[in-house]
Amino acid sequence: MSKVINVNQADFQTQVVDRSHQEAVLVDFWAPWCGPCRMLGPVLERLANEPNSAFTLAKVNSDNNQQLAMQYGVRGIPNVKAFVNGNLVDEFVGAQPEPMVRQFLQRLPKAAGKAANQPPANGNGQAPANDPASRLQQARDLLQKGDGCSALPKLQSFPTSPQTEAANKLLPLAQFLCDAYQSRFNGSGEIDALYRQAADAIRRREYSTALYSLLTAVHHDKTHRDGAAKKVMLGLFELLGESDPLTRAYRQQLASAIF
């Protein structure tokens, strides 16, 4: 199985989404005229072809697949998006040096098809349901679908582990989405309106809109619900990943807000 493949609109589902259940798939949105793309491309290909590589590199010419680029919110190239277990789990934009790309790869969760390499907890070789890494990934998958109520029990009373910090950051996001689903932000005030807008945007994966609404809530009422807007923003940063351009941009803006 080739570790570097060319993908288009027609075979994206099978070559990227379906394939990501076996191992991570990095999608490199690039174009022939893009100078930074020519810098990053060889780095990604070299890493993909390393003997112990745990990912497939799928190259998408964004000029020839504009609908696909629009579907996945590509606004600048190179744009590398990581898919695991059928979900978009992380991404970065721009030509990154090799050490940064390696760190990005190390943060990716394991694909379900690699569960045989993990200590099994039952007879079918799957990771235990309460395994912290598996539990955290399940919560991430649910949050990416906007399902905070289902993610809540996976994040509450989270066992002490390397994943605990990430789970604690995601917990306010899950609670926020669940509260919105249960119509707890149905007041007529401006803060509740901003919360509704943010929750709706998260469900549509319009994270820029969501972060803008939450940041506006932070500025309008910095003591409202014990800084809930800030905690939800931090949860979104964790969900998107530190390398996401939205995380970098809005973390700076959040840092400038005075609580």
Catalytic residues: 34, 37
Q: Is residue 3 within 8 Å of 48, Cβ to Cβ?
A: yes
Q: Locate 27 and state its tokens.
A: 């999608």
Structure tokens at 84: 């695991």
Cis peptide before 36 (omega within 30 of 0): no
- Name the one residue in this structure whose structure tokens are 């590398």: 80
Separation CA 131–CA 137 (nearest Å): 10
Query: 231: which 2 tokens?
Result: 């905690």
Q: How far apart are CA 66 and CA 72, in angstroms?
A: 10
Residues pairing with 87 in the sheet: 84
Q: How many CB atoms lie within 10 A of CB 71?
A: 11
Q: Angle 88-92-95 (CA atoms, 0-180°, nearest 5)?
A: 145
Question: What is the three-class DSSP state of 206?
Answer: coil
